[in-house]
Chains A and B, each alone.
Chain A
Amino acid sequence: MTAVTAGRHRGVGARLFASPSVRLVGNRLLMAIPITLGVSILTFWVLNLIPGNAAQQLLGADATPEQIRAMELQLGLDKPAPLRYLDWLGGAVTGDLGRSLVSGQSVAGQLGERLAVTGELVAMAFVVSLVLAVPVALLAAYRPNRLFDRLSMFVSVTGLSVANYVLALVLVLVFAVRFAVFPAIGFVPLSESVGGNLHSLVLPSAAIGIPMFCLYTRFLRGDLVDQMQGQDYVVTAQAKGVGPWRVLLRHAFRNSSFGLITVVGLNLSTLIGATVIIEQIFALPGLGQLMLQAINTRDMAVVQACVVVFAVVAVLANLLTDLLYAVLDPRIRYGSR
């Protein structure tokens, strides 16, 4: 008991710093700084390589060079690129993301609205796919290579091999055109009607969620079967006389969950890419749609803001993954001897 009580006598700060989770969070948040910086520089540079700028886009194809020149002066596009980047960065660091070159609206205000839509879409796809994948994988792994397992394997391989935009079109064709159960396009804000809001998100979140469900099911089923067939602790549990469901749930699943968390964490970043396409197809006023429009109009401030948001989300997703390990895995929580 002495080791335990000794730990209690140390200062709160010292103990906080010694906690691996706190250090992990600190490190990751520090790492987020160079990552976002790098991403924003890269985006700025690439957008500058594309011919055309916001002035041309605003004035249209008929504009004279003089008009464009005047507009460029007005928008500050005459300044050299590095200087414009530093201007933006200076604003962003102090919390001012600037104004859209095209609409003149505050970027921060636009971001908030758009982020809510994308966030809802991702959350719905993510929660539903995970909630469905876990029981399906457990049922499949309970009796590997039997009917249910083979059926779920077939479905998940099929789902994984279809690109999500193809899937989106098929869903629209079946559930919006043929049967007209769900709307094909459009978005009802949550503030307007909760039911309508969920209704309008069913098809887009299915288009994102179905491939995720397939991926998670396939992965978790495989990992569970590996644990059940290859791990000694499973044999120990069976030799105790514990029932098969209990072995699967209490022993194998807990250990398989680490692998699942890794896959889910990695997947969250690719998910952001999927929203860009899906929002376009279903005409959802989300972040992805905003970014695509801004790229077309060379609306630098908006593009930059979107990209930074995506980068921060990716970093946070990875951080969350690592923190979940620490919560679930006692070897990380208590440190190894």
Chain B
Amino acid sequence: MTVERDEVLTADPAERAGAAALLEIRDLRIRFTRGGRRVHAVNGLSYRLDAGQMLAIIGESGSGKSVSARALLGLLPSSAEVSGSARFEGAELIGMPEREIRRRRGRDIAMVFQDPARSLNPTMRIGAQITEAIRAHSGIGRKEAGERAVELLKLVRLPAAERRFHEYPHQLSGGMRQRVVIAIALAGEPRLLIADEATTALDVTTQAQIMQLLVELQERLGMAVVMISHDLGLAASYAQHVVVMYAGRAVEYASAGRLFGHVRMPYTRALLGAVPLLEREPHAPLPVISGQPPDPAAIPKGCAFRPRCASATGRCEQAPPFSEHEPGHWWACWHPAEDPPGGSGGGGGGGEDGATR
């Protein structure tokens, strides 16, 4: 079965003029064949990230955000068909030979995953897992690597780093484990860190601490961060730019401040509306986005959000182009939302409120 893909292709954020970007993704498409079904996980994703910046990729589960990030490191199963372009400091990552991309893993781009309980090897000591990462990229000796590992554990503020070095993951709390995973990611001194739902499995207090740590490391090490999340509030508080993904494509892109003040895409607005807020009346039903995200094996033609969208019209059967409608603000919608009267409080009650968490 083939889902016809939309031929609309316009200038995208990756094409913005200016200095060379650290990461430029253009029309990234990823398909899997699973049990005879063609699954379209990513359907033309483009974004750009400058050195030292933090970009948030927001979307529901299954919107293709994690898959698109793993593709950058060549970590997808062999059944994945990847096309399009992803340039890191000018070097094309898509289709790069395995040997070459392996040398870049951890050294150029590192990754932190969602569940720290599962992303560490339960049978290896913390220290061994970090020194392995250090020694994968430099020829330094075991002892020196060990010292560097303890330094990294101190850098991620793991209490009693020297002792933890000799411990196993199960002896640590969730937040401590995530610090260890971040230390592993920092081992190769990467210029880009991808945090794939890195705080989702943690409780709210720990979540804030880990995000603080990421921001601090970003500034201290001059490292760029791609933060993948389904939490718009979190994105607003920490990232400079936000990409909203739906059904494997970008539907809205802007700076965080701009996006939350002037939301355009009805899907983004609905997402903002679904953020639970303390100001809401107690026991009021939580607003939800009705319907289901589309089955990635059968994405509707035209605008993929159409079946769930209140503003949808016949025109939406034609896919809207993803283009820069306002300076620095990109979206793909025929019926963008207006700014609410009275200025910047728009976006379904989200806006700046969402940014204060």
A residues whose Cβ falls under 8 Å from a Cβ of B: 1, 229, 231-233, 235-243, 246, 250-251, 254-255, 328-331, 334, 336-337
| 14 A-B pairs in the complex with CB atoms less than 8 angstroms apart | A232-B113, A232-B119, A235-B75, A236-B121, A236-B184, A239-B110, A239-B185, A240-B187, A241-B103, A251-B124, A329-B122, A329-B123, A330-B123, A331-B122
Complex interface: chain A residues within 8 A of B187 (CB): 240
> From residue A178, how far is it (CB to closest CB) to chain B in Å?
44
Q: How far is the CB of A229 from chain B (nearest CB, A)?
A: 7
Docked pose: A236 CA to B132 CA in angstroms:
11
Identify which of B107, B118, B163, B168 contacts A241 (C-beta below 8 A).
B107
Cβ contact of B168, chosen from A1, A238, A243, A334, cutoff 8 A = A334
Which residue of the partner chain, among B104, B106, B122, B125, contacts A233 with CB atoms under 8 Å?
B122
Q: Could you tell me if B122 and A236 are in contact, using CB atoms closer than 8 angstroms?
A: no
B96-112 to A contact mask, C-beta < 8 Å, 1/0: 00000011111100110
* Contact A239-B111, Cβ < 8 Å, known A1-B163, A330-B122: yes
Of the candidates A1, A237, A239, A337, the one whose C-beta lies within 8 Å of that of B170 is: A337
Contact of B123 among A229, A240, A254, A336 (CB under 8 A): A254
Point out the residues of chain B lying under 8 angstroms from A236, CB to CB. Answer: 111, 113, 119-121, 181, 184
Q: Which residues of A contact B119 (CB under 8 A)?
A: 232-233, 235-236
- B123 with A238: CB separation less than 8 A: no
Chain B positions 174-222 with a Cβ under 8 Å from a chain A Cβ: 181, 184-185, 187-188
Please, how many residues of chain B have a CB less than 8 angstroms from a CB on the other chain? 36
A residues less than 8 Å from B111 (CB atoms): 235-236, 239
B171 near A334 (CB under 8 angstroms)?
yes
Q: Is B73 an interface residue (CB 8 A)?
A: yes
Query: A240-B133, A334-B168 in contact; A229/B122 too (CB < 8 A)?
Result: no
Quick one: which of A229, A233, A238 contacts B105, CB cutoff 8 A?
A: A238
Interface centre among A237, A329, A334 (most CB of B within 10 A): A237
| Cβ contact within 8 Å between B132 and A255 | no
Q: Are B136 and A255 in contact (CB under 8 A)?
A: no
The reply to whether the CB of B329 lies closer than 8 angstroms to some CB of chain A is: no
Q: Which residues of B contact A254 (CB under 8 A)?
A: 121, 123-124
**Chain B 247-267 near chain A by CB (<8 Å), digits 1 or 0:** 000000000000000000000
**Residue ID in chain A nearest B170 by CB atoms:** A331
- The minimal Cβ–Cβ distance linking A260 to chain B, given in whole angstroms, is 13
Given known A1-B163, A330-B168, contact A241–B113 (CB-CB < 8 A):
no
Instruction: Provide the bound-state CA to CA distance between A328 and B102, in Å.
Output: 29
Asked if B87 is at the interface (CB within 8 A of a chain A CB), the reply is no
Give Cα A328 to B118, complex, Å.
18
